[in-house]
Amino acid sequence: MADSFFTSRPPLLASQVLAELGPVLTGERDLSHTANGALEVVMAAIRAGSGALFRFQEKPAMLASIAAQGFVVFPQTAVFPLLPKHVHALTNVPGPQRISRERCDTFLSSTGNISSVWFRCIAPLRVHGKLIGALLMGEREEGAEYTPEVLKQIGDLAPFIALAMYNHQLMMSLEERTADNLKLIASVHSFWDDALAAFAATIDVKHIQMQGHSLRVGRYAAGMAESLGMGASEISEMRAAGYLHNIGMVTVDKHLFMKPGALEPGEFQEMADHTVQGHRIVSTVQFPWPKIPEVVRSHHERADGSGYPDHLHNDEVSMPVKIVAVADTFDAMLSDRPYRKKLSLGEAAAQLSWLAPAKLDGEVVHSLLVQLRRDAVSHVSPPRPWSSSGHESKTRKMFLDPAVPCNISPTDIDHMVSELNRRMTRGRVTLA
Ligand SMILES: [Fe+2]
């Protein structure tokens, strides 16, 4: 502590004090540690028994303590509210001043939670003429006076302490601004979500059986991303990728969507080209998510290379592509098409599971089954309002689109997971 520190040492030369103060002020520590360290060095240098360091706050004007030493009792944060005349005096006084019961009203008010009678000297801390804080020193050892030499010594040290406090405030301000920017980015992402959801709805207007498809794919892709442990930004990316995966469909003749039978080769090619056309469209847009173009181009690729347009294998596409491929296939199975009726949820889940790992990624299909099981459990055992665990279930957003009846049991899904696991294990991949 300061007491033993200064009583065991002779007075320090200014250069020695600065040598000690430098590392204290420039160390990578928080403001409280730095302030206490600086206060200790100053107290030792001038043989003061007590002292406190205050930070100036502009609105409302006040000095608030950030370090104090040598007092028997001291508020956790001592405060001197300041009137304009106090701020003016502290901003313009040439250097450290002795203060007495009579003189203290020049610099400090008496309306704070601490009395100015504890202090004998005040040194304003300023940077470029701007008030940053104040150093208030108490009694010196053996009642020694604050001589002009001692005041000068304090005045020599004060700018360094002021600069350290000023830099810390700048850093805090920078951190606050960074946090504000992150919030702004988050709000921009929210804007993207809303805008893309509206856009997704327009992609699917070509045929009534396609309506809502892109929105649902976005919903399912985001749910699977969550199940796979992805972060908030990646989940947003998956939702956006689902919304936009079929954007190239805007270039396809709408009569092809209504054709009841199989497409002619030329017609199929036009339909398949929605991947390439879509990729061309989104490649010109600077999205906040980097994977959108790849998802748009490759969501019809299949794990064994039988997909289109580039016949890529499972290890040649990214996880977002695999997720949207499963979400897209899942929703298509649950929807009527001109050439077939929609499947039940159980049939769709079983077929989807059967397609992994040959056609679809097994880990991603598993993530879908996990979400379906959660829905099935909620469906079988609706949450009770007085149960805390039930409350959590009640507030959980359902994975399935509300229009899809959840007529599948958790046990059925468990069998599918076991079967999937067995096939994956045979393929040397084990699901957790
Ligand atoms: Fe597609």
Give the model confidence (pLDDT) of 315-346 as tens digits. Answer: 999 999 999 999 999 999 999 887 788 999 99
Q: Same domain for 103 and 218?
A: no
Residue range(s) defining the domain that contains residue 102: 2-176
Domain boundary, last residue among 176, 196, 230 = 176
Q: Which of 325, 340, 241, 337 lies closest to 290, judged by CA?
A: 241
For the chain, what is the mean pLDDT?
85
Q: Same domain for 152 and 298?
A: no
Neighbour order of strands in the sheet with 121-127 = 79-81, 62-69, 51-57, 130-137, 121-127, 97-98
The answer on pLDDT for 167 being more than 90 is no
- pLDDT tier for residue 383 given thresholds of 50, 70 and 90: low
Predicted confidence (pLDDT) per residue in 210-245, tens digit = 889 999 999 999 999 999 999 988 999 999 999 999
Cβ neighbours around 350 below 10 Å, total: 19
What is the distance in A from the centroid of ligand 1 to the CA of 369?
22
What is the distance in A from the centroid of ligand 1 to the CA of 422?
30
What is the distance in A from the centroid of ligand 1 to the CA of 265?
17
Residue 37 has a pLDDT of 87
What is the distance in A from the centroid of ligand 1 to the CA of 355?
17
What is the distance in A from the centroid of ligand 1 to the CA of 146?
83
Residue 7 has a pLDDT of 41
What is the rounded (10 degree) CA torsion for 330, 331, 333, 338? -150
Q: Same domain for 156 and 26?
A: yes
Q: Same domain for 220 and 106?
A: no
What is the distance in A from the centroid of ligand 1 to the CA of 202?
15
- In three-state form (DSSP H/G/I as H, E/B as E, the rest C), the secondary structure along the chain is CHHHHHHCCCCCCHHHHHHHHHHHHHCCCCHHHHHHHHHHHHHHHHCECCEEEEEEECCCCEEEEEEEECCCCCCCCCEEECCHHHHHHHHHCCCCEECCCCCHHHCCCCCCCCCHHHCCEEEEEEECCEEEEEEEECCEHHHCCCCHHHHHHHHHHHHHHHHHHHHHHHHHHHHHHHHHHHHHHHHHHHHHHHHHHHHHHHHHHHCHHHCCHHHHHHHHHHHHHHHCCCCHHHHHHHHHHHHHCCHHHHHCCCHHHHCCCCCCHHHHHHHHCHHHHHHHHHCCCCCCCCCHHHHHHHCCCCCECCCCCCCCEHHHCCHHHHHHHHHHHHHHHCCCECCECCCCHHHHHHHHHHHCCCCCCHHHHHHHHHHHHHHHHHHHCCCCCCCHHHHHHHHCCCCCCCCCCCCCCHHHHHHHHHHHHHHHHHCCCCCC
Query: Domain of 319: which CATH number?
Result: 1.10.3210.10
Residue 8 has a pLDDT of 42
Rounded to an integer, the average pLDDT of 381-388 is: 52
User: Structural domain tally of the chain?
Assistant: 2
Predicted confidence (pLDDT) per residue in 340-366, tens digit = 889 999 999 999 999 999 999 999 999
The answer on pLDDT for 182 being more than 70 is no
Q: Same domain for 220 and 369?
A: yes
What is the distance in A from the centroid of ligand 1 to the CA of 271?
9
What is the distance in A from the centroid of ligand 1 to the CA of 209?
14
Tell me, yes or no, whether 109 lies in a domain: yes
The more confident residue out of 8 and 71 is: 71
Q: Same domain for 392 and 259?
A: yes
Residue 321 has a pLDDT of 98
What lies within 8 Å, CB to CB, of 181 at 6+ separation is none
What is the distance in A from the centroid of ligand 1 to the CA of 311?
15
What is the distance in A from the centroid of ligand 1 to the CA of 245?
6
Query: Domain of 11: which CATH number?
Result: 3.30.450.40
What is the distance in A from the centroid of ligand 1 to the CA of 274?
7
Tell me, yes or no, whether 200 lies in a domain: no
| Core vs surface per residue 89-123: b (16+ CB within 10 A) or e | bbeeeeebbbbeeeebeebbbeebebebebbbbbb
Tell me, yes or no, whether 192 lies in a domain: no
Q: Same domain for 324 and 413?
A: yes
Predicted confidence (pLDDT) per residue in 120-165, tens digit = 999 999 998 999 999 999 999 888 999 999 999 999 889 888 988 8
What is the distance in A from the centroid of ligand 1 to the CA of 284?
19
Partners of residue 133 on adjacent β-strands: 55, 125
What is the distance in A from the centroid of ligand 1 to the CA of 297?
9
The answer on pLDDT for 175 being more than 80 is no
Tell me, yes or no, whether 188 lies in a domain: no
- Min mean pLDDT across 75-79, 91-95, 195-199 is at 195-199
The answer on pLDDT for 205 being more than 50 is yes
The residue type found at 282 is V
What does the alpha-carbon distance between residue 138 and residue 43 come to, in Å, rounded to a whole number? 9
Tell me, yes or no, whether 202 lies in a domain: no
Q: Same domain for 257 and 214?
A: yes
- pLDDT tier for residue 382 given thresholds of 50, 70 and 90: low
Tell me, yes or no, whether 245 lies in a domain: yes
Q: Same domain for 172 and 211?
A: no
What is the distance in A from the centroid of ligand 1 to the CA of 300?
6
What is the distance in A from the centroid of ligand 1 to the CA of 335?
14
Residue 25 has a pLDDT of 66
Tell me, yes or no, whether 372 lies in a domain: yes
Q: Same domain for 221 and 169?
A: no
Tell me, yes or no, whether 130 lies in a domain: yes
What is the distance in A from the centroid of ligand 1 to the CA of 374?
27
The answer on pLDDT for 28 being more than 80 is no
Cβ neighbours around 131 below 10 Å, total: 21
What is the distance in A from the centroid of ligand 1 to the CA of 310?
14
Q: Which of 263, 232, 392 lies closest to 338, judged by CA?
A: 263
Rounded to an integer, the average pLDDT of 46-52 is: 94
Rounded to an integer, the average pLDDT of 109-116 is: 86
Rounded to an integer, the average pLDDT of 101-111 is: 83
What is the distance in A from the centroid of ligand 1 to the CA of 412?
29
The answer on pLDDT for 185 being more than 80 is no
Q: Same domain for 213 and 160?
A: no
The answer on pLDDT for 410 being more than 90 is yes
The more confident residue out of 226 and 21 is: 226
Q: Same domain for 235 and 172?
A: no
Residue 4 has a pLDDT of 40
What is the distance in A from the centroid of ligand 1 to the CA of 66?
62
